Copies of this chain bind each other. A is one copy, B any other.
């Protein structure tokens, strides 16, 4: 039987190498975020790319115990306190189009828009207007725009500023901004939210749309593990209690 082939990890001689780099060498002077980038791109990131991926992973790590992923993880543990891996896995199973899926949806739209602009030899603004008009006609929501609370999303400014300063911003950022203008004209002003922002910069760093969903999972697992550890430490088995009340430290500022 034919084996399956992989280009990710090489452990033929007992040394474990990720994409050719010895793991001990990656453990010194490199960060976990470098390893994530390397695993998915086959090369190490530059400083801007690392900072952007760090910011994105932190941005999606945890939005509170009321999100389906966190609530699912904690309820699973409530019946099955012997297995934290079961609870984290259950939380990931709540990730789908409706929760954590907007980033990859927006990356697909960027790829489609850029391909169309090129094929039809039209400007990004013209392309964005066509996509917006079509989506409006079909009653489709455009992933990556709008925010329940804010009229601008502060996280978007952070990512775009980093991407511009570091020379990473390209067609992805340009197209998402063209979409923002088109939506404001044709529908109503809607800010680029964190999903739209991360989609644009991930595109410009060379990631494919599926990574938009995978990066959400990688980041969210950090939050799920903390939720699960808290559930184990603070709650009793077999409880079903929703909603959630925050009782932690007050807002503070990092040094």
Residues of A within 8 A of B (CB): 1-12, 14, 16-36, 39-40, 42, 44, 53-55, 57-59, 61-69, 71-72, 74-90, 92-100, 148-150, 154-155, 158-159, 162, 208, 210-211, 213-214, 217-219, 221-223, 225-230, 232, 234-235, 237-254
Report chain B residues within 8 Å CB of A79.
67-69, 72, 94-96, 98-100
Chain B minimum-CB-distance residue to A4: B241
Q: CB within 8 A of A32: which of B97, B208, B222, B235?
A: B222
Q: Is the CB of B248 within 8 A of A6?
A: yes
Report chain B residues within 8 Å CB of A242.
1, 3-4, 240-242
Knowing A39-B61, A39-B62, say if A89 contacts B93 (CB, 8 Å). Answer: yes
Q: Is the CB of A8 within 8 A of B226?
A: yes
Min distance, Cβ A98 to any Cβ of chain B, angstroms: 4
Q: Is the CB of B98 within 8 A of A155?
A: no
Q: Is the CB of A76 within 8 A of B94?
A: yes
Report chain B residues within 8 Å CB of A57.
32, 35
Report chain B residues within 8 Å CB of A67.
79
Sample (7) of A-B pairs whose CB atoms are under 8 Å apart: A4-B239, A9-B63, A16-B63, A77-B94, A83-B96, A85-B96, A218-B221
Chain B minimum-CB-distance residue to A63: B16
Chain B minimum-CB-distance residue to A247: B5
Q: Is the CB of B72 within 8 A of A96?
A: no
Q: Is the CB of B244 within 8 A of A84?
A: no
The answer for the CA separation of A254 and B44 in the assembled complex, in Å, is 8
Chain B minimum-CB-distance residue to A252: B20
Q: CB within 8 A of A64: which of B9, B232, B251?
A: B9
Q: Is the CB of B10 within 8 A of A246?
A: yes
Knowing A222-B39, A251-B20, say if A80 contacts B93 (CB, 8 Å). Answer: yes
